[in-house]
A and B are shown apart, each in its own frame.
Chain A
Amino acid sequence: MTSTLDAQPARHGTAAEPRPGDPEITPELVSEHGLSTDEYEQIVRTLGRTPTYAELGVFSAMWSEHCGYKNSKRLLRLLPTEAPWVIQGPGENAGVIDAGDGYALAFKIESHNHPSAVEPYQGAATGVGGILRDIFTMGARPIAVLDSLRFGDLDSGRVRYLFDGVVRGVGDYGNCVGIPNIGGEVHFDRGYEGNPIVNAMCLGLMKRDDLILGEASGVGNPLMAVGARTGRDGIHGATFASEELSEDSQHSRPQVQIGDPFTEKLLLEASLELIKSGHIVGIQDMGAAGITSSASEMAGRAGSGVEIDTAKVPVREPGMTPYEILLSESQERMLVVAKAGHEGHVEAILNKWELEAAVIGAVTDDGMFRVREGDRVVAEIPALPLTDGCPTYEREGIESDEVRALRERDLGHVLRDGDLSDALLDLLDSPNIGSKRWIYDQYDSTVRASTVAEPGGDAGIVRIRGTNRAIAATTDCNGRYTYLEPRVGAMIAVAEAARNLACVGASPVAITNNLNFGNPERPHIYFQLREAVLGMAEACGVFETPVTGGNVSLYNETDGAAIYPTPVIGMVGLIADVSHVTGSGFRAVGDAIVLFGECADELGGSEYLYRATGEVAGAPPRVDLLAERALQRLLLDLGRQGLLHSAHDCSEGGLAVALAESAIAGTEGRFGCDVSLDDELPGTALLFSETQGRVVVTVEPARLDLVLEAAGAHGVPAKRIGTVERAGHGLKIRSPRAEVSVSLEAAARQYFSAIPRRMEQNVSVDRAATSPPT
């Protein structure tokens, strides 16, 4: 373990004095602030003196993993971040890409795992609120939200309580602000029992010229606090998010912020109006670490300094100390750098939207992050060392022997032949495979009247009003694969995301990522993190989908047990003509069913294995990035020519589940199918392996030759495997060693009741048993 970026001694020496009543700075207090002895010594060198209590709080927040990326920064540098269509890469509130016709698309994903683990409703709600603000502070109007969720198994009452609360929280916040939720994913596995994952992604659209950055430039320009008042909620949320969870974490509820989507909606409209007005030079969300991070980061980016007077910050209650004001994570607040002399105009716009604006400080030229409380200077810290001087660590990474043994386990015991109808019906009843309608029916997916496809397809799509263009987005990651083999798992996450986009007819262009991992100070976890980043970098390089930003959430552990490493990929794609969009459901009786890609015996990490034996073992499926790229290009080519009636990728549950989903879950009603496979693979391996690089498409018989020829030209293996039938025919699959024959009613019953029937059990009883006293 090494700490680089050594402290720059303060140029003039800094001056700040303790405030009467401040606690003494002791090693215990330093440790409670999540800072190591080395880090504390670096702070002392930076300041040339002992920090004040307020300064200690500021460093604690800014040098937390959440704000400072101290364990991940060096790895993140390995990711590709550039392409001609990237307008803004990592480092800002959100990444921005060129969306064509003078439009730019801002997008980002962010986690709210820790808050959601202790207070699911507010934790999830404020996660959505935060990611919306990251988008509209760029000058973009939010046009879509996606959510990527992970929970333990639904047979636990506590898990059902968390799941129910998170879904309500995500829904209520986005519904109220009026941003359609167009997709996402959810997985249930005991690996997430104590630590749910709640990642929210937002997309926003703007005219290229409206882009604005979070910079505090122009000496003398006023800093203004805008939106909600500052209260005592969420103090030290960033530090909390950078620790492991334990029994005691339930007492961290006061660190969870409370969301107010109505104020957010007003703030959204006011911010966009402000940005267009020309009265401001910079704007930033007061998110994690509140005023501290927004003000110091804006100064850091501009190479300027800032001075803030906490006595001028509008507060919710009297008696708040500078420490509390600096570290409050009260929601729905923005920091605005106005043009000097334009304060009145800014205030007028905020007042129109029934919000407050107050001048709380100014931009300076001395490079300091200075905080006053009236006449007393309570913090004076060089801004750049604070924001960019956070010590970064490259740690030792060693694969766990236990995981290696799991990966090398032989899975011969789950190979079966014969009638596998019941096995398919059982898979359709898995909450990981079954319909997610129970979730998305609680999310407004059609507000803004621009959503193209219904949620539940391979990717969400919104059109750009006034053009033929549309934008598609998806989130993907299979934590089991990443657990068993992190590098391969991360590659698959990127490949699956790109495949999902290509299936609907969108060209993949960029990603935002959310790295959800355990405690990186443990070598087995650091190994996962490093390997996953390497896998992601390789796949993004091959697909030319640079990373434009994202979020790192480490320390996802409860009582020493880490989650599966879960590097969620949020990928966006562009559709030049919205009429080229392809759905995932079968559309016409008599259509030829064609399989792109080849089948293999790859049950490692599969849902079938988990359902059949409870194991998470074996090697995850192999992934051939060049073959994936060829498949994506083939799908886009065919989509543009209008040759496909449907396209659906094979993922959890394998080929049999993909066929079943296309049969029962399409928007054009239900269809049967008759499929005949000539592979000699064992039955369960053929039907349920999650082999990558496969897509099931349907085409009119008259166009079959064209499609097969195109596949040949792209070098993608393709063969006709069957025909779409009437619903009454049922779902029939035959191979030399296995067969499936189920009615559509039976399949649909399993598929659509998988989640609802589990959630109809009482959640509140368990809640009472596991919640802390309030």
Chain B
Amino acid sequence: MRVAVVTFPGSNCDHDGYHAFKLVGADTRFLWHRETDLSDTDAVLLPGGFSYGDYLRSGAIARFSPVMEAVVAFARAGGPVLGICNGFQILCEAGLLPGTLLRNESRRFRAHDVWIRVERSDTPFTLAYEAGRVLRVPIAHADGNYFADSDTLARIEDRGQVVFRYTDPDGNPDPAYNPNGAQNRIAGIVSEQGNVLGMMPHPERAVESVHSSTDGLGVFQSLVTSLQPVP
């Protein structure tokens, strides 16, 4: 599998994402935001960080980067695109995912481990998990409070687009474990076609024994599995 990790000015989790994909054996490269060639690419990662300093609004400037036109075309053609944290914000700004990420309810940057329940295991990003499994992964964001208007929210719930939800460590809904005030405790969603995933937590920081958990590894393994040619 060939993965392109996009680096925007201000991306700072590009290397972490790169290493996570390397760990599961993917052929991984960095793609500077001015490049536009995705012809040799099977999957795209929009990494976390502060593209353009998050000035104006998180992700609002990065969506105009030259690479985004290619990413939108790649996604429309069914190619898998994973956006983590700032990447999720950019996907929303670019219209590839519905809704938006508001400032955390606490009005503060929050960085700590959270628990998220896998709502669907039939996406290219969650094949390696069983539905209902609870993952421990870190968050680190100021704008992670998922919001959509009521019609949109109803639609994404009806179509089962919510892939990850914040829960307590046992998988139960608990507002105390919702770190940012996200509607319906949404931590990650997929596009209608299911090939674009945006999530606020950082699975790439939970893949090795030195990390507080290795629960995030499945996201990267799932992509590799889903892209393996069927024999």
Contacts and interface: CB of A to CB of B under 8 A. Distances in A.
B140 A265 contact: no
A449 B49 CA distance: 13
B198 interface: no
Contacts of A176: 10, 12, 50, 53-54
A441 B110 contact: yes
B202 A177 contact: no
B9 A175 contact: no
B110 A178 contact: no
A442 B210 CA distance: 22
Given A446-B111, A446-B140, A667-B212, A178 B13 contact: yes
B19 interface: yes
A353 interface: yes
A262 B12 contact: no
Given A262-B53, A446-B205, A452-B210, A441 B112 contact: yes
Interface in B13-35: 13, 15-16, 19-20
A465 B205 CA distance: 13
Contacts of B208: 449
A261 interface: yes
B111 A175 contact: yes
Contacts of A261: 50, 53
Contacts of A168: 108-109
Given A444-B140, A463-B210, A465-B19, A449 B205 contact: yes
Nearest to B7: A269
B155 interface: no
A465 B142 CA distance: 27
Given A262-B52, A265-B10, A667-B212, A449 B16 contact: yes
B140 A175 contact: yes
A448 B109 contact: no
| Interface bracket on B | 20 to 34
A136 to B, nearest CB: 14
B138 interface: yes
Contacts of B211: 446, 449
B12 A447 contact: yes
B12 A450 contact: no
Interface in A441-461: 441-452, 454
Given A261-B53, A449-B205, A465-B19, A172 B109 contact: yes
A415 B208 CA distance: 50
Interface in B126-173: 138, 140, 142
Contacts of A450: 210
Contact of A178 (B12, B52, B109, B204): B12
B30 to A, nearest CB: 12
Contacts of A437: 112
- Which 10 A-B pairs give the minimum distances between C-beta atoms? A178-B12, A262-B53, A449-B16, A444-B140, A176-B50, A444-B111, A446-B205, A446-B138, A449-B205, A442-B109
14 contacts: A168-B108, A171-B109, A176-B50, A176-B53, A178-B12, A261-B50, A261-B53, A262-B52, A266-B9, A441-B110, A444-B111, A449-B20, A449-B207, A449-B208
Given A448-B15, A449-B20, 10 more contacts: A171-B109, A175-B140, A176-B10, A263-B53, A440-B111, A441-B110, A442-B110, A443-B111, A448-B16, A449-B208
